[in-house]
Amino acid sequence: MIAAVLVRFAYLAVSRAFAALWLLRMTEREKDVKILALRHQLAVLLRQLGDQRPPLRSEDGALLAALLVPLARATMRQIYRRIQDELLMLSHRTAASTTAERTVGLGDYLLSYGLAGHSGS
Protein backbone atom coordinates (compact mmCIF):
# COMPACT_ATOMS: atom_id res chain seq x y z
CA MET A 1 0.00 0.00 0.00
CA ILE A 2 2.72 2.50 0.99
CA ALA A 3 4.81 1.52 -2.03
CA ALA A 4 1.89 2.28 -4.35
CA VAL A 5 1.40 5.70 -2.75
CA LEU A 6 5.12 6.47 -3.07
CA VAL A 7 5.16 5.43 -6.72
CA ARG A 8 2.13 7.61 -7.44
CA PHE A 9 3.71 10.54 -5.58
CA ALA A 10 6.99 10.14 -7.52
CA TYR A 11 5.06 10.00 -10.80
CA LEU A 12 3.10 13.14 -9.94
CA ALA A 13 6.23 15.00 -8.81
CA VAL A 14 8.15 14.14 -12.00
CA SER A 15 5.20 14.94 -14.28
CA ARG A 16 4.64 18.30 -12.53
CA ALA A 17 8.34 19.13 -12.81
CA PHE A 18 8.28 18.47 -16.55
CA ALA A 19 5.09 20.54 -16.87
CA ALA A 20 6.79 23.44 -15.06
CA LEU A 21 9.83 23.20 -17.34
CA TRP A 22 7.54 23.18 -20.36
CA LEU A 23 5.78 26.33 -19.10
CA LEU A 24 9.10 28.12 -18.61
CA ARG A 25 9.93 27.43 -22.25
CA MET A 26 6.63 28.82 -23.58
CA THR A 27 6.25 32.39 -24.81
CA GLU A 28 3.58 34.71 -23.41
CA ARG A 29 1.52 34.28 -26.57
CA GLU A 30 1.59 30.49 -26.29
CA LYS A 31 0.54 30.75 -22.64
CA ASP A 32 -2.35 33.04 -23.60
CA VAL A 33 -3.50 30.56 -26.26
CA LYS A 34 -3.32 27.72 -23.74
CA ILE A 35 -5.36 29.72 -21.22
CA LEU A 36 -8.00 30.47 -23.88
CA ALA A 37 -8.20 26.77 -24.79
CA LEU A 38 -8.60 25.77 -21.14
CA ARG A 39 -11.30 28.42 -20.63
CA HIS A 40 -13.14 27.08 -23.67
CA GLN A 41 -12.93 23.51 -22.32
CA LEU A 42 -14.25 24.72 -18.97
CA ALA A 43 -17.15 26.54 -20.64
CA VAL A 44 -18.07 23.38 -22.60
CA LEU A 45 -17.98 21.27 -19.44
CA LEU A 46 -20.12 23.79 -17.56
CA ARG A 47 -22.65 23.75 -20.41
CA GLN A 48 -22.78 19.96 -20.30
CA LEU A 49 -23.32 19.96 -16.54
CA GLY A 50 -26.09 22.54 -16.70
CA ASP A 51 -27.36 23.23 -13.20
CA GLN A 52 -25.64 20.17 -11.75
CA ARG A 53 -22.48 21.16 -9.94
CA PRO A 54 -20.19 18.74 -8.17
CA PRO A 55 -20.32 19.34 -4.41
CA LEU A 56 -17.18 20.83 -2.90
CA ARG A 57 -15.88 19.27 0.27
CA SER A 58 -14.18 21.32 2.97
CA GLU A 59 -10.81 19.93 1.84
CA ASP A 60 -11.45 21.28 -1.65
CA GLY A 61 -12.22 24.74 -0.27
CA ALA A 62 -9.06 24.68 1.83
CA LEU A 63 -6.97 23.67 -1.18
CA LEU A 64 -8.48 26.42 -3.33
CA ALA A 65 -7.88 29.00 -0.60
CA ALA A 66 -4.25 27.88 -0.25
CA LEU A 67 -3.75 28.13 -4.02
CA LEU A 68 -5.28 31.60 -4.16
CA VAL A 69 -3.09 33.16 -1.44
CA PRO A 70 0.04 33.55 -3.65
CA LEU A 71 -2.14 34.87 -6.47
CA ALA A 72 -3.70 37.44 -4.15
CA ARG A 73 -0.27 38.51 -2.90
CA ALA A 74 1.06 38.90 -6.44
CA THR A 75 -2.01 40.88 -7.46
CA MET A 76 -1.75 43.15 -4.44
CA ARG A 77 1.96 43.74 -5.15
CA GLN A 78 1.12 44.63 -8.75
CA ILE A 79 -1.61 47.07 -7.65
CA TYR A 80 0.73 48.60 -5.04
CA ARG A 81 3.44 49.11 -7.69
CA ARG A 82 0.96 50.78 -10.04
CA ILE A 83 -0.20 53.12 -7.29
CA GLN A 84 3.41 53.96 -6.40
CA ASP A 85 4.19 54.69 -10.06
CA GLU A 86 1.14 56.94 -10.39
CA LEU A 87 2.01 58.82 -7.21
CA LEU A 88 5.59 59.25 -8.38
CA MET A 89 4.45 60.60 -11.76
CA LEU A 90 1.99 62.94 -10.03
CA SER A 91 4.70 64.28 -7.73
CA HIS A 92 7.01 64.83 -10.72
CA ARG A 93 4.26 66.63 -12.63
CA THR A 94 3.48 68.78 -9.59
CA ALA A 95 7.15 69.61 -9.03
CA ALA A 96 7.62 70.45 -12.72
CA SER A 97 4.59 72.72 -12.82
CA THR A 98 5.64 74.46 -9.59
CA THR A 99 9.13 75.01 -10.99
CA ALA A 100 7.68 76.40 -14.22
CA GLU A 101 5.47 78.80 -12.26
CA ARG A 102 8.47 80.01 -10.26
CA THR A 103 10.52 80.72 -13.39
CA VAL A 104 7.76 82.75 -15.05
CA GLY A 105 7.99 85.61 -12.56
CA LEU A 106 5.41 88.01 -11.18
CA GLY A 107 5.59 90.47 -14.10
CA ASP A 108 4.79 87.78 -16.66
CA TYR A 109 1.97 86.53 -14.44
CA LEU A 110 0.42 90.02 -14.25
CA LEU A 111 0.81 90.52 -18.01
CA SER A 112 -0.92 87.26 -18.75
CA TYR A 113 -3.97 88.41 -16.80
CA GLY A 114 -3.88 91.97 -18.12
CA LEU A 115 -3.07 93.44 -14.73
CA ALA A 116 0.31 95.01 -15.46
CA GLY A 117 0.47 98.79 -15.76
CA HIS A 118 -2.71 99.42 -13.79
CA SER A 119 -2.48 101.55 -10.69
CA GLY A 120 -4.33 100.83 -7.50
CA SER A 121 -6.59 103.92 -7.85
55 near 63, Cβ under 8 Å?
Answer: no
DSSP string, 7-25: HHHHHHHHHHHHHHHHHHH
Mean pLDDT along residues 72-86: 80
Cα angle at 78 between 89 and 71, to 5 degrees?
175
pLDDT tens, 17-74?
Answer: 888 888 888 888 888 888 899 889 988 888 888 878 777 777 777 887 887 787 777 7
73 near 65, Cβ under 8 Å?
Answer: no
Q: How confident is the model at residue 14 (pLDDT cuts 50, 70, 90)?
A: very high
First-to-last alpha carbon distance for the chain, in angstroms, is 104
d(C-alpha 19, C-alpha 31), whole Å:
13
